[in-house]
Amino acid sequence: MSYKENKSLDQRLELEEIENRCKKFWLENNVYAYDNTKSREETFIIDTPPPTVSGSLHIGHIFSYTQTDVIARYQRMHGKTVFYPIGWDDNGLPTERRVQNYYNITCNPELPYDASFKPEHKEDNSAPRREISRKNFIEACDKLTASDESIFEDVFKNIGHSYDWNLKYTTISPETIKISQESFIDLLEKKYIASVEAPTMWDVTFQSAVAQAEIEDREVQGFFHDIKFEVEGGQDSFIISTTRPELLPACIAIVAHPDDERYQKYFGKKAIVPLFDIEVDIVASEHAEKDKGTGIMMVCTFGDSADVAWWKKSGQPLKQIIGPDGRMLDIEYGQGVFTSKNPAKANQNYRQLVGLTTKQARAKIVELLAECGALQGELRPVTHMVKFYEKGNLPIEFVSSRQWFVKLLEQKDNLIKAGQQIKWKPAHMQRRYEEWANGLNQDWCISRQRFFGVPFPVWYKLDSHGYPDYDHPIIADRKQLPVDPMSDVPLNYTEEQRGKPNGFIGDKDVMDTWATSALTPEIALGLTNSPLKLPFDIRPQAHDIIRTWAFYTIAKALMHHNTIPWTDILISGFILDPDRKKMSKSKGNVITPQHLIDKYGADSVRYWASRAKLGTDTAFEEQIMAQGKKLINKIFNASKFAMTIVANSGISDYSVSADSITNETDKSWLYKLSSSLEGATKYFSTFDYAGALEVIEKRFWDFCDNYLEIIKKRAYSEDNRSAVLSLVKSIDVFVRAFAPFCPFVTEEIYQALPWNNGRPVSVHLTSWPTEQEFAGIISNDMLYDSISQLTSEVRKAKTEANLTQKTPVKKLVIAAPAKVISLLSAHGIDLENVTNAYPNAIEYIEGSELSINKIELDLDFVPENKKKQDVVG
RNA sequence: GGGCGUGUAGCUCAGUUGGUCAGAGCGCUGCGUUCACAUCGCAGAGGUCACAAGUUCGAGCCUUGUCACGCCCACCA
């Protein structure tokens, strides 16, 4: 496919046309296709983050993903075939939540499938949500994610990301589900996974278990309630300060510190829980701290993870009073574990709590406590930290249930070692990882009581009474994968046996979405027949998901393959509001990536992203994009100008060599250019795209402001060969050096270069310019720097005299070291030209430093345009 | 409570191993340019490099302490 009809550059820079032309051209020519015949050494592998599909792309996505793209493009030009996949993380809770709101529906797994149901977008969400079956719900998720994903894809294409779109995946696709289920079975066989019935952190809104990594602390306004407990015998009493009085019915013990003298006398005795007359032991335990509250506290099932830990050791029964929905369960005192000295009284009080939320129950129990006189004094306000599921609005509860756990705790040391083998950029981010690994205190709960996710490939046998045997699950055969145990049947069973005694039931949970996204290396490899293996080269990601995505990926690579998943991890920063807070949703929605691409052009937005260093949060500053647009414009115009000179030069052999570049100024300039490239390459070798851009950009402005001006006259003259070929080389090099950053404008220019015969179809397939290309051609920086400095000083003198730059120089005395004088006097024609000096106006005297000793300008000079004005005026 | 990071011109940020390191862009002011580019060029003003002490011939850069901001982690009765 050809790029465009007319090969020459347009008169003006038409960004939109260029972008459309490029996008089409790159796709049609498979410019970014990964070549699976190349060896590992010739391949650069990127573990691209699959963005969560739950709404729209944020400018922060564009920021970090573009930085990775710049690296990918550099590596491609550096001679590697780049394995650069892209996926959409569409399974999981964020998607479910969006789907519920978008269609105003909710999943009720009890309902049968309704083939006629078609989800429709509802603007108005005030009506009660329509309940639909699990299968209908998943179909709705599929539908909405598919449309969201096509929008994401457009934005990524518009910004010019060079993914190999043949390597596209979604985390809910059958292929991904298969890989995720294989991972589960592998870890299960290796005994890294087990199902455990235990108190688990539970979000009551989404009614699902959640993992430690998804928990965050939030400051909450609460109250201390001072509650009087009688000691058995009724002679004595003590006060407990608690923020959660609604847990009184689940009290299993009272504890105080062993050294606390105030409570020594109670140890070994029993306390009576008010309202419910539960007899509980008063126990000495390090768990309590003397100077907190009243120093004595109640242990309930469960107020916090400390309660869970204490309960596990104690051998006490579990009294679960909070249900999965966060409401008080309907329990009966005098039955089972709910003992009471006075069941009738306990039940009378507890009946008033049944069905209430914890918050409502707290208010009610305060009433009851006040009535019976157990509540001492006023409630005392306190702000304290409470654990929340990161996506939830209510505190988490500990609910006992059966869940699948990945045994990470026993891997702690290996995880830390693996983290040390990986190169973190910036390096201090490794600390974040290590601290998280060190602080891990729970295994990874991977089951979620949700619907849109990867099902566990597991069924349970039912005994003759219809009770499931959780200890001996039926694991799917690998050949069956992917399976949905709710609709598929285990080997040697029939659908008729589902739910019947001696039959089976399917595991109805789905996996934590991280359990699947921690497999992005394996998922990506599944898309190709390449012989690639872990470890990959780089994992780009943001720092907020070090404890989840990075951590779990390292864990899985370790458990599956006993290797690190990548050699380098590049941590990007955040885009912050001007007030340095993390950019808010509302603002992000106003300034959408597409809006910015439309306003400044994709290359300019990319320029903005490329300027920021890794790992550093930066305030959003739109002006950088305006600056980028100026650069893009300059690249276009300077190239166009240079190409016009070349076209009119009468030169047709564009080969650049020591024979063709004969002028010393040109040699000296090319030396400058060459050393900038050396610097840029060095920066890129440590993934420092920002450093690379800086040196290239700096040299480019030098080229425009100085070199072009210096050689202009010579390039138009008879003896123009060296200057013209130097321009050819300069433009060719700049186009390639800017290509990773500004792929659109550089492609547009590359396609118009008249010396492209036999070269790759796209600039993005050419080789990265290195200093080796200049071998034998270049000299050193002395001459160019000298002319450049003098040019600038003469310019300054003219500016300060309020004269036009065209003003001729009558006399210019230059002081310089002998070495510089000999260079300048032999090759000073450009200096004469650029300063517009009269013949023989330049003189040299010896001095220690290069400087202008004396300058005399032609004050009688009148520019052409002024003359005309005078005539008219 | 523990850890990490940041603090450089009005704003956003560079400053690699301590010695032209006091910078860039934007903004502001002035001047110029219209035959590559007004999406332009040139120049100017502006900073005790958070503060204090120390190491050193020499510190924005190293050490210690202080302050401010941000982030991460922490059993939060």
pLDDT tens digits along A671-723: 999 999 999 999 999 999 999 999 999 999 999 988 998 998 899 888 899 99
- Going by pLDDT thresholds of 50, 70 and 90, the confidence category of residue A869 is very low
How far apart are the C-alpha atoms of A678 and A422, rounded to whole Å? 27
How far apart are the C-alpha atoms of A172 and A58, rounded to whole Å? 22
Residue given tokens 């972008």 in the structure block: A19
Q: How many Å does it take to go from CA A848 to C1' B57?
A: 25
Sequential DSSP letters for A533-584: -S-EEEEEEEGGGIIIIIHHHHHHHHHHHSS-SEEEEEEE--EE-TTSSBPP
Residues 470-489 of A with CB under 7 A from strand B: none
Q: How many Å does it take to go from CA A580 to C1' B69?
A: 9
Q: How many Å does it take to go from CA A557 to C1' B56?
A: 49
- Residue-level pLDDT at A587: 58
Contact partners, residue A488, CB within 8 Å, separation at least 6: A476, A480, A506
| CB atoms inside a 10 Å sphere around CB A20 | 13
Q: Which residue is nearest to nucleotide B38 (CA to C1')?
A: A630
Residue given tokens 């869970």 in the structure block: A308
Q: How many Å does it take to go from CA A700 to C1' B42?
A: 18
Half-sphere exposure of A500 toward its Cβ, with a 13 Å CA cutoff? Answer: 8
Residues A159, A70: contact at Cβ < 8 Å?
no
Contact partners, residue A679, CB within 8 Å, separation at least 6: A691, A692, A695
| CB atoms inside a 10 Å sphere around CB A549 | 22
For residue A637, say whether its CB is under 7 Å from any atom of strand B.
yes
For residue A851, say whether its CB is under 7 Å from any atom of strand B.
no
For residue A263, say whether its CB is under 7 Å from any atom of strand B.
no
Q: Per-residue pLDDT for A93 more than 70?
A: yes
Cβ neighbourhood burial of A292 (10 Å; 0-12, 13-18, 19+): exposed
For residue A725, say whether its CB is under 7 Å from any atom of strand B.
no
Question: Which one has a higher pLDDT value, A805 or A163?
Answer: A163
* Cα-trace Rg, chain A: 36
Tokens of A198: 């235990």
- Residue-level pLDDT at A865: 55
- Best-predicted range by mean pLDDT among A23-37, A284-298, A580-594, A642-656? A23-37
The strand pair at A566-572 and A444-445 is best described as unpaired
By 3-state DSSP, what share of chain A in percent is helix, strand and coil, each rounded to 5?
Answer: 45, 20, 35
Nearest nucleotide to A697 (CA to C1') is B24
Residues A242, A292: contact at Cβ < 8 Å?
no
Q: Encode pLDDT of A366-404 as tens digits.
A: 999 999 999 998 898 888 888 999 888 899 999 999 999
Which 3 state secondary structure label does DSSP give A54?
A: coil
Q: Which residue is nearest to nucleotide B33 (CA to C1')?
A: A804
Residue given tokens 């809104």 in the structure block: A205
Cα first-last separation, chain A? 57
- Residue-level pLDDT at A65: 95
Nearest nucleotide to A219 (CA to C1') is B76
Residues 190-229 of A with CB under 7 A from strand B: 212, 216-217, 224
How far apart are the C-alpha atoms of A623 and A862, rounded to whole Å? 39
Q: How many Å does it take to go from CA A551 to C1' B37?
A: 50
Q: Which residue is nearest to nucleotide B36 (CA to C1')?
A: A641
- Residue-level pLDDT at A586: 57
- Going by pLDDT thresholds of 50, 70 and 90, the confidence category of residue A740 is very high
How far apart are the C-alpha atoms of A76 and A659, rounded to whole Å? 31
Q: How many Å does it take to go from CA A429 to C1' B17?
A: 22
How far apart are the C-alpha atoms of A424 and A381, rounded to whole Å? 44
Q: How many Å does it take to go from CA A588 to C1' B25?
A: 24
How far apart are the C-alpha atoms of A119 and A147, rounded to whole Å? 13
Give me the count of residues in chain A: 873
Q: What are phi and psi of A732, to 5 degrees?
A: -60, -40
How far apart are the C-alpha atoms of A219 and A508, rounded to whole Å? 35
For residue A785, say whether its CB is under 7 Å from any atom of strand B.
no
Nearest nucleotide to A429 (CA to C1') is B4
Contact partners, residue A44, CB within 8 Å, separation at least 6: A72, A75, A76, A80, A81, A82, A83, A537
The bases of strand B with some atom under 7 A from any protein CB are: 2-5, 11-15, 25-27, 30-37, 39-43, 69-77
For residue A284, say whether its CB is under 7 Å from any atom of strand B.
no
Nearest nucleotide to A288 (CA to C1') is B77
Which strand (E) or helix (H) includes residue A700?
Answer: helix A689-702
Q: Give the sheet arrangement for strand A851-857, strand by strand.
A: A842-846, A809-816, A851-857
For residue A254, say whether its CB is under 7 Å from any atom of strand B.
no
How far apart are the C-alpha atoms of A413 and A415, rounded to whole Å? 5
Average pLDDT over residues A761-783: 92
For residue A16, say whether its CB is under 7 Å from any atom of strand B.
no
Q: Per-residue pLDDT for A579 more than 70?
A: no
Q: Per-residue pLDDT for A866 more than 60?
A: no
- Residue-level pLDDT at A871: 40
For residue A627, say whether its CB is under 7 Å from any atom of strand B.
yes
Q: How many Å does it take to go from CA A540 to C1' B69?
A: 27
For residue A866, say whether its CB is under 7 Å from any atom of strand B.
yes
Q: Per-residue pLDDT for A829 more than 70?
A: yes
Tokens of A443: 């295994």
Beta bridge partners of A297: A255
Nearest nucleotide to A635 (CA to C1') is B37
Q: Name the pTM for this structure.
A: 0.93
State the average pLDDT for chain A: 90
How far apart are the C-alpha atoms of A554 and A691, rounded to whole Å? 29
Residue given tokens 């004088």 in the structure block: A821
Beta bridge partners of A82: A44
How far apart are the C-alpha atoms of A246 and A302, rounded to whole Å? 11
How far apart are the C-alpha atoms of A672 and A768, rounded to whole Å? 17
Express as a percent the part of chain A with pLDDT over 90: 64
Instruction: Fill in the amino acid letter for A314.
Output: S
| CB atoms inside a 10 Å sphere around CB A293 | 17
For residue A244, say whether its CB is under 7 Å from any atom of strand B.
yes
Residues A275, A374: contact at Cβ < 8 Å?
yes
Beta bridge partners of A852: A814
Which 3 state secondary structure label does DSSP give A140?
A: helix
Residue given tokens 């789905």 in the structure block: A510
ipTM: 0.94
- Residue-level pLDDT at A95: 86
CA A315 to each of CA A243, A277, A296, A651: distance values in angstroms, whole numbers, following the listed order: 25, 21, 20, 93
Q: How many Å does it take to go from CA A627 to C1' B46?
A: 22
Residues A83, A164: contact at Cβ < 8 Å?
yes
How far apart are the C-alpha atoms of A676 and A695, rounded to whole Å? 6
Average pLDDT over residues A81-106: 91
Average pLDDT over residues A417-431: 92
Nearest nucleotide to A645 (CA to C1') is B36
For residue A685, say whether its CB is under 7 Å from any atom of strand B.
no
For residue A382, say whether its CB is under 7 Å from any atom of strand B.
yes
| Triad A150, A515, A404: Cα angle to 5° | 140
Instruction: Fill in the amino acid letter for A641.
Output: F
Residues A220, A386: contact at Cβ < 8 Å?
yes
For residue A523, say whether its CB is under 7 Å from any atom of strand B.
no
Residues 797-836 of A with CB under 7 A from strand B: 799-800, 802, 804-806
Nearest nucleotide to A440 (CA to C1') is B73
Residues A38, A10: contact at Cβ < 8 Å?
no
- Residue-level pLDDT at A406: 96
Nearest nucleotide to A582 (CA to C1') is B70
How is residue A848 annotated by DSSP?
A: S
Closest CA to A210 of A358, A51, A359, A388: A388
Q: How many Å does it take to go from CA A743 to C1' B34?
A: 31
Q: What is the dihedral of CA A669, A674, A679, A682, to 10 degrees?
A: 180
Cβ neighbourhood burial of A193 (10 Å; 0-12, 13-18, 19+): buried
In this structure, of A7-11, A539-543, A655-659, the range with the lowest mean pLDDT score is A7-11
How far apart are the C-alpha atoms of A107 and A800, rounded to whole Å? 76
For residue A644, say whether its CB is under 7 Å from any atom of strand B.
yes
Tokens of A162: 């060079």
How far apart are the C-alpha atoms of A679 and A227, rounded to whole Å? 71
- Residue-level pLDDT at A864: 59
Question: Which one has a higher pLDDT value, A306 or A523?
Answer: A523
Q: What are phi and psi of A222, to 5 degrees?
A: -135, -170
Closest CA to A278 of A243, A321, A312, A309: A321
For residue A577, say whether its CB is under 7 Å from any atom of strand B.
no
Which strand (E) or helix (H) includes residue A402?
Answer: strand A397-406
Tokens of A73: 């493009």
